[in-house]
Amino acid sequence: MIPQSARFRPANRNVLRLLSGHCLMALSLAILVLAAYAEPSAADSLEVELGRRIYREGILPSGSPLKGLRLGSIEVEGAAAACETCHRSSGMGSLEGNIVAPPITGRFLFATEDNRPTALVDVSAPKNVTRAHTPYTEQSLAKAIREGVNVGGRQMSPLMPHYVLNDAEIKAVTAYLRQLSKDLSPGVGDDTLHFATVVAPGVDPNQRKVMEDMMRAAFSQRNASQQNYSGRMRMPIDLIPRTLRNWELTVWELQGAPETWGAQLRENYRRQPVFAVISGLSNTTWAPVHEFCSQEKLPCLLPSVPLPPAETAFYPLYYSRGVALEADVLASHLRKQDNKATRRLVQVYRDDEVGRGAAQALTAALRDSDIKLEDRVLSGQNPSALKEALTGLSGQDTLMLWLRPSDLAAVGKTVKQAPERAYVSGFLAEDDYGVISKDWAPRVRVIYPYEMGDKRQKTLKLLNAWLKTWSLPLVDETFQSEVFFNLLFITDLTSQMLDNLYRDYMVERAEDMMSLGSNVSAYPHLSMARGQRFASKGAYFARIDQDGQLAADSEWIVP
């Protein structure tokens, strides 16, 4: 029995009913608010995706191709009409000749006076930056997209198509632009920019050490110089305001078999996200690193590897195709021979990732030719294997040696008489041609992907001076020139990006800048156009002189 004092009086019942009503109303409102947030979230995601397809692929929500008129009468549609064609995947724009496609991300379109970003329009003209304008509205942006009239009422470039888009499609594009390159990429802190380099198992410890020492010295030099401009003349680009961020380097050292590298990379990245992977060293495969960078949308710039993956992707960039490029250079050369046509080509290689890749590349390059190709594979360290691989060669045969210095040294000891024509891989020989016997040297030609002679010494003069300044040894000139070029390149690249630290933009800028800076590498030519992923595209044929040095025996050959 409930005590009288605990019973509800009629007045209390009214209060309870009132409170219960308020609670139900509050609960109903909460449900409605949550629903209001939940439903637009799904709708917004769909709208952004529809806008992405229009922007990136030129496909309308209906599945029909995007259409527009350029120069008043030239119809473009589909992928050719996609906004990305000119404004790039980052939305940060591009420069073709003197035609500027400006940044069109939400940060730039809708910027107000108190929060206005800046981007460099032309990498060769540091004073050429984006101009302030009245913030766009959805209406003025629609007018720009449909009629080519900017927010100031002026006609834009006639190369900008006038698009046929309805209101829903305009809204979808606008939604996509508002979130495009909105947030800085992982690895970018308030005052720190994180980079990583990757070291694969089995690399030369001297190379590994000098690479790390060079990178840490360059990072220290860069961090010190950005903090104190008083002691040197400032460049025009230094005068553009930006956030000062110190660089930090993490070394991702891989262990074990290549099939385990992906998990190791993911764990390293989980512990410390980085903005980009720069340089890196492997003398076997690089495929797991390539795949990881592609999956994480992580720029991977110019590692030192003998055989990059054949299938290119957006984020990894390389110096060259390595031994696969040499295979194409040799195939091109052999195909052009007339009176000394090769009937049989014997290629000798180690049964490892690089050896197999080189042999497969040459086989593919000669597939429809009249040349008979014969593979001879070395496995293990039994000296008889090399002797067996070199038996049965006639004076009419051509020999291709995909071998490193230790094997090249054994060739002349195993077989005294060289065939009439023998070729050696410049990538694999590691500039160690003194190991080739005097009997073989006159008949050997090196497929050489680097510069030679006085031109090379002139190009690498800055490297040698920098190493001396930092008391660093010259262990491997070619390899260290790759690291040095990359460090200067990444310094210029991030400087040109200002505060727009987006990974896609980094790759796009790298494409634009590769051929504009001074070349301090061992390669004679470095260039990279949009969509290209290999900066050096040719090689020389070189002979070995009496002093064991290389001399050009051909012009620069681009297959």
Strand boundaries in 142-217, DSSP class E: 162-163, 192-199
* Same domain for 347 and 314: no
The tens digit of pLDDT for each residue in 397-442 reads 899 999 999 999 999 888 888 888 999 999 999 999 999 999 999 9
Amino acid 228: pLDDT? 58
Residue at which a domain ends, from 147, 179, 211? 179
Amino acid 10: pLDDT? 40
Would the pLDDT of 370 be above 70?
A: yes
* Same domain for 512 and 375: no
Place of tokens 């990305």: 84
| Percent of the chain topping pLDDT 90 | 74
The residue-averaged pLDDT of 242-266 equals: 96
CA atoms of 496 and 371, how far apart (whole Å) = 49
The residue-averaged pLDDT of 3-30 equals: 39
Helix 167-179 with 10-52: angle, nearest 10 deg? 90
Would the pLDDT of 36 be above 70?
A: no
Range of the domain at 108: 57-179
Amino acid 241: pLDDT? 78
Would the pLDDT of 37 be above 60?
A: no
* Same domain for 340 and 300: no
DSSP state of 344: E
The tens digit of pLDDT for each residue in 262-308 reads 999 999 999 999 999 999 999 999 999 999 999 999 999 999 999 99
Q: What is the full DSSP assignment across 54-108?
A: IIII-B-TTSPBPEEEETTTEEEEGGGG-THHHHTTTS--EEETTEEE---SHHH
Flag whether 215 is in a domain: yes
Flag whether 51 is in a domain: no
On whether the CB atoms of residues 218 and 491 are closer than 8 A, the answer is yes
Residue at which a domain ends, from 117, 147, 179? 179
Tally of domains within the chain: 3
pTM equals: 0.89
Flag whether 2 is in a domain: no
Binned at pLDDT 50, 70 and 90, residue 29 comes out as very low
CA atoms of 199 and 254, how far apart (whole Å) = 6
Facing residues of 447 across strands? 425, 541
CA atoms of 199 and 210, how far apart (whole Å) = 12
Amino acid 236: pLDDT? 64
* Same domain for 546 and 420: yes
* Same domain for 317 and 207: yes
Flag whether 21 is in a domain: no
* Same domain for 440 and 398: yes
Q: In 3D, which of 207, 218, 210 has the Cα closest to residue 469? A: 218
Amino acid 472: pLDDT? 98
What sign does the dihedral 291-297-303-307 (CA atoms) show?
A: positive
CA atoms of 92 and 254, how far apart (whole Å) = 35
The tens digit of pLDDT for each residue in 331-348 reads 999 998 865 678 899 999
CATH of residue 517's domain is: 3.40.50.2300
16 versus 190: the higher-pLDDT residue is: 190
CA atoms of 429 and 446, how far apart (whole Å) = 9
Would the pLDDT of 73 be above 90?
A: no
The residue-averaged pLDDT of 212-221 equals: 97
The residue-averaged pLDDT of 320-336 equals: 96
- 222-231, 271-280, 390-399, 498-507: least confidently modelled range: 222-231
The residue-averaged pLDDT of 28-36 equals: 39
* Same domain for 318 and 463: yes
Amino acid 6: pLDDT? 36
* Same domain for 316 and 197: yes
Binned at pLDDT 50, 70 and 90, residue 225 comes out as confident
Amino acid 131: pLDDT? 87
The residue-averaged pLDDT of 465-477 equals: 97
Flag whether 472 is in a domain: yes
Amino acid 110: pLDDT? 95
Amino acid 12: pLDDT? 44
* Same domain for 498 and 415: no
33 versus 276: the higher-pLDDT residue is: 276
Flag whether 96 is in a domain: yes
* Same domain for 173 and 61: yes
What sign does the dihedral 529-244-115-54 (CA atoms) show?
A: positive
Q: Look up residue 244 and give its amino acid.
A: L
* Same domain for 219 and 286: yes
Flag whether 10 is in a domain: no
Binned at pLDDT 50, 70 and 90, residue 95 comes out as confident
Binned at pLDDT 50, 70 and 90, residue 27 comes out as very low
The tens digit of pLDDT for each residue in 51-68 reads 999 999 999 999 999 999
Binned at pLDDT 50, 70 and 90, residue 229 comes out as low
Would the pLDDT of 2 be above 70?
A: no
CA atoms of 352 and 292, how far apart (whole Å) = 22
The tens digit of pLDDT for each residue in 513-526 reads 997 767 899 999 99
Would the pLDDT of 31 be above 60?
A: no
The residue-averaged pLDDT of 72-78 equals: 92
Place of tokens 């949308």: 297
* Same domain for 332 and 436: yes
How distant is the alpha carbon of residue 271 from its chain centre? 23
Q: What is the mean pLDDT of the chain?
A: 89
Amino acid 113: pLDDT? 85
Would the pLDDT of 511 be above 90?
A: yes
The residue-averaged pLDDT of 96-105 equals: 88
CA atoms of 37 and 31, how far apart (whole Å) = 10
CB hemisphere CA count around 30 (13 angstroms): 6
Q: Both tokens of residue 548?
A: 């064991």
Flag whether 17 is in a domain: no
